[in-house]
Amino acid sequence: MFTGMRRVLVGGTKNFFRGGAVSVATVIIMTVTLIIIGILIFLSALLSFTLAQIQDKVDVSVYFTPAAAEGDVLNLKDQLSQLPSVESVTYTSSDQALQEFKTRHANDQLTLNALNELGNNPLGASLAIKAYDPSQYQSIVNYISNDQSLQSAGVSIIDHIDYYENQDVINRLTAAIHDTERAGLIIVAVFAVASIIIAIATVRLAIYSSREEIEVMRLVGASNAYIRGPFIVAGIIGGVISSAITLVIFTPILWYLGANYTSWLAGFDTFAYYTGHFIEIIGALVGSGIILGGVASFLAVRRYLKA
């Protein structure tokens, strides 16, 4: 068995390097295919980063009446923080709200004078709630609305919740995120299938030049697995070399983009993502190259073998 495996490995290596221009053409096509796959990986990462940035800017604020006790507000904050759908809850006291109001209207003396004439703080505390997914805000708001502890002498201590004002925007964002994710998967699938078809056609052309050799091996009684083996090995070698070339091409390009176009890409640093996910990217490209070369060779040589 080990002798047979060694012969297959040696034969596959010889087939690849003996292929000359055909092997070079196969590597070039597979490299282009892997570059497309790599670009799709980074486009998917950029899309996820952009959607996360948009989601991070969306939250729901609960504004309380000035008469609301701080203990009741903090108790609700603790309850919300324990919900699995809630990412974070930020508390702003009435004094903080007043200070922020004065800072925002520092150049509006008329408003500041009117505020001083009131003699007391007309602003209540608030909670800014951020969910893991925008689609979860409705259930969070329902939870708050059904909380009977937020009543004082039969009157709610909540002034208003801005979810109802932003509901249309949140719903549109949720739909856009889901539609974009589906579109991204479809685009990746289409390009991947197209790339595989091109690679198979190229490998088939390379194996076509060896059809007479395959026929001779069949005539002397070689098994289908033994005939396939060297071609699959040659395809895998081509895939590994193609993935290495792809990484060599990507590294300086991603460094340049990260150094010069991070702000243009809404803060997405391509090189930082590349280095931070280096093992996963290598695994994806090398794995894709091996699978692409091996499967393409397997399918290409199949037509020359008995069913």
91-105 pLDDT per residue, tens: 988 888 878 777 877
HEC secondary structure over 203-262: HHHHHHCCHHHHHHHHHCCCCHHHHHHHHHHHHHHHHHHHHHHHHHHHHHHHHHHHHHCC
Domain holding 140: CATH number?
A: 3.30.70.3040
Structure confidence at residue 278 as a pLDDT band (50, 70, 90): very high
Supply the pLDDT for residue 34. 87
Total number of domains constituting the chain: 2
Same domain for 145 and 31: no
Name which residue leads in pLDDT, 15 or 284: 284
Q: Please give the average per-residue pLDDT across 128-155, as a whole number.
A: 78
C-alpha of 186 from chain center = 14
Structure confidence at residue 152 as a pLDDT band (50, 70, 90): low
Residue 61 lies in a domain: no
Same domain for 295 and 178: yes
Structure confidence at residue 307 as a pLDDT band (50, 70, 90): very low
The residue out of 126, 156, 186 marking a domain boundary is 156
- Note the pTM of the prediction, 2 decimals: 0.68
What gap in Å lies between CA 104 and CA 98, rounded to an integer? 10
At 92, list the tokens.
């702003």
Same domain for 39 and 17: yes
Residue 288 lies in a domain: yes
Q: pLDDT tens-digit profile of 14-34?
A: 777 776 777 788 788 888 888
Same domain for 14 and 150: no
The residue out of 125, 156, 187 marking a domain boundary is 156
pLDDT beyond 90 at 252: yes
Same domain for 100 and 36: no
Domain ranges, residue 107: 66-156
Q: Please give the average per-residue pLDDT across 3-9, as a whole number.
A: 70
Same domain for 192 and 45: yes
Q: pLDDT tens-digit profile of 205-237?
A: 766 766 777 777 777 777 777 777 788 888 888
Same domain for 177 and 136: no
Residue 199 lies in a domain: yes
Mean residue pLDDT of the chain comes to 80
Q: Please give the average per-residue pLDDT across 116-141, as a whole number.
A: 82
Residue 162 lies in a domain: no
Helix 2-18 and helix 224-260, axial crossing angle in degrees, nearest 10: 60
Same domain for 261 and 183: yes
Q: Tokens 């197209």 identify what position?
A: 194
Question: Please, what's the b/e burial string for 239-263 (b: 16 or more CB within 10 A of its CB; e: otherwise)?
Answer: bbbbbbbbbeebeeebeebbeeeee
Q: pLDDT tens-digit profile of 39-91?
A: 888 887 887 787 777 777 778 888 888 888 888 888 888 888 898 988 889 89
Same domain for 147 and 238: no
pLDDT beyond 50 at 184: yes
CB 57 within 8 A of CB 169: no
Cβ neighbours of residue 242 under 8 Å, at least 6 residues apart? 27, 30, 31, 33, 34, 289, 293
Same domain for 75 and 8: no
Same domain for 138 and 36: no
The residue out of 101, 130, 156 marking a domain boundary is 156
234-to-11, 97, 144, 282 alpha-carbon distances in Å: 8, 69, 64, 20
Residue 111 lies in a domain: yes
**117: alpha, beta or left? (left if phi > 0; alpha if psi -120 to 50):** alpha
Residue 161 lies in a domain: no
At 217, list the tokens.
């091996």
Same domain for 210 and 82: no
